[in-house]
Amino acid sequence: MNKKLLILIFVVSITLGGCGLFDRETPIKSVSLATDWTWQGVYAAYPVAKAEGYYEEEGIDITIDRGYGSGDTITKVAAGVYDFGVADFGVLIQFNSENPTEALTAVAIMWDYSPLTILTLTNRGIETPQDLVGRELAAPAGSASRIMFPAFAQAVGIDPDSVSWNSVSPELRETMLVEGDVDATAPFLDAIITLQGLGIDPDEIKAFHYPEYGLEIYGLALITRPEIINEQPDVVSGVVRATIRGWIHTIADPDNAIEVLKQVDPLIDEQVERARLDLVLERLIITPWVIEHGFGAADPVRIEAHIDAAYEAMNLEIRPDPATLFTSEFLPPLDDRRIP
């Protein structure tokens, strides 16, 4: 073959390849992620990871948005609105059971202990979970504490249908409790800080934290779709690695994390959000398991227990496969996941 023809073939192949015509698959480098709630200190790690360039170092251009409840975030990830999401593991179990053909997978555990809680005030006369019977609770329809309430109700021996629900936005939930419009709320544990920010004395707050009532369940997890796992494993590994770096940075320098969050949402109260972050780090994230096994890992025994709790309490028809619910294959080495 003559030299000019060889050169022509080479140039054409490079040009067409650059246009993607010879690519069997175009890698996903621009990805989107939604948290499960509004911008608060406990979500600072994600904008921190972006601001520090951790995603960029993985070759990933990421868009990060606030969420509107775990149920909403899971639905949007399943529908392809977002590539990744941060959502409650129990809500993920329910979704996978009810939507087996759209099942999602958690690729890292963000919060080792569940934050699910019922909050009330001492002037409501609710001293024990059993006193919730006949009361009105406020929570968004898609909030994890509300969705997993049947599991909590079963654990404490009350009928899940013995309470009524007032569907409200997250911004109104604790305000309604303070103003006496409802008897209790179903938020995350860190809503204690929200109540204090509304002028409530800590001694006046009563919290029924789900894990303290026998529910060995996980909190928030990083989730994605199977097709992204199968088709773009490098992207999944990059997002997991960068996100974990964001959390470790946040744990090492929480003041800086709140400063970064302030750039995302100038309306936050830095003092309140720092207190919220401290509470979650201390009680839900920096646990003995995480100290030993590193950030992002999960105990297979607890995964099974969490599935059982959700399956039985919510009368799920299909028991999700643990292998579908969580995979550790994208976690970086242990030394890269250790808490400082």
Residue 1, domain member (yes or no) = no
Bridge-based pairing state of the strands 117-121 and 164-166: unpaired
How many beta carbons lie within 10 A of that of residue 218, not counting itself? 26
The rounded distance, in Å, linking the Cα atoms of 186 and 165 is 10
Q: Are residue 90 and residue 145 in the same domain, yes or no?
A: no
The rounded distance, in Å, linking the Cα atoms of 176 and 171 is 10
Q: With DSSP H G I counted as helix, E B as strand and the rest as coil, what are the percentages for the chain, rounded to 5?
A: 50, 15, 35
Please name which of 40, 86, 33 lies closest in space to residue 254, comparing C-alpha atoms.
Answer: 40
Q: Are residue 244 and residue 318 in the same domain, yes or no?
A: yes
* pTM for this entry: 0.85
Domain end, chosen from 191, 213, 235, is at 213
Q: Which string of DSSP letters, residue by residue, matches 108-148?
A: EES-SS--BEEEEEGGGT--SGGGGTT-EEE--TT-HHHHT
Question: pLDDT by residue (tens digit) across 254-309?
Answer: 999 999 999 999 999 999 999 999 999 999 999 999 999 999 999 999 999 999 98
CB 120, CB 113: distance < 8 Å: no
Residue 160, domain member (yes or no) = yes
Provide the domain count of the chain.
2
Residue 7, domain member (yes or no) = no
Reading the block at residue 258, the tokens are 């709140």
CB 217, CB 309: distance < 8 Å: yes
Q: Which amino acid is at 305?
A: A
Torsion of CA 8, 10, 12, 13, to 10 degrees: 160
Residue 16, domain member (yes or no) = no
pLDDT of residue 25: 46
Q: Are residue 272 and residue 325 in the same domain, yes or no?
A: yes
Q: Are residue 312 and residue 178 in the same domain, yes or no?
A: no
Rg (CA), the chain: 22
How does pLDDT run along the chain (340 residues), one tens digit per residue?
Answer: 444 444 333 333 333 344 433 343 444 589 999 999 889 999 999 999 999 999 999 999 999 999 988 999 999 999 999 999 999 999 999 999 999 999 999 999 999 999 999 999 999 999 999 999 999 999 988 788 998 899 899 999 999 999 999 999 888 999 999 999 999 999 999 999 999 999 999 999 999 999 999 888 999 999 999 999 999 999 999 999 999 999 999 999 999 999 999 999 999 999 999 999 999 999 999 999 999 999 999 999 999 999 998 888 888 999 999 999 999 999 999 999 999 8
Residue 12, domain member (yes or no) = no
CB 223, CB 77: distance < 8 Å: yes
pLDDT of residue 28: 54
Q: Are residue 271 and residue 289 in the same domain, yes or no?
A: yes
Q: Is 229 exposed, middle or buried (0-12, 13-18, 19+ CB in 10 A)?
A: middle
CB 50, CB 64: distance < 8 Å: yes
Residue 8, domain member (yes or no) = no
Q: Are residue 105 and residue 124 in the same domain, yes or no?
A: no
Domain end, chosen from 213, 240, 256, is at 213
Q: Are residue 227 and residue 317 in the same domain, yes or no?
A: yes
Bridge-based pairing state of the strands 136-138 and 184-185: parallel
Residue 281, domain member (yes or no) = yes
Residue 18, domain member (yes or no) = no
Angle between helices 300-313 and 149-156 in degrees, nearest 10:
90
Q: Are residue 92 and residue 206 in the same domain, yes or no?
A: no
Q: Are residue 332 and residue 257 in the same domain, yes or no?
A: yes
Q: Are residue 222 and residue 267 in the same domain, yes or no?
A: yes
CATH of the domain at 131: 3.40.190.10
pLDDT of residue 171: 83
Q: Are residue 243 and residue 203 in the same domain, yes or no?
A: no
Domain end, chosen from 213, 245, 280, is at 213
Structural domain span for residue 195: 117-213
Q: Are residue 173 and residue 269 in the same domain, yes or no?
A: no
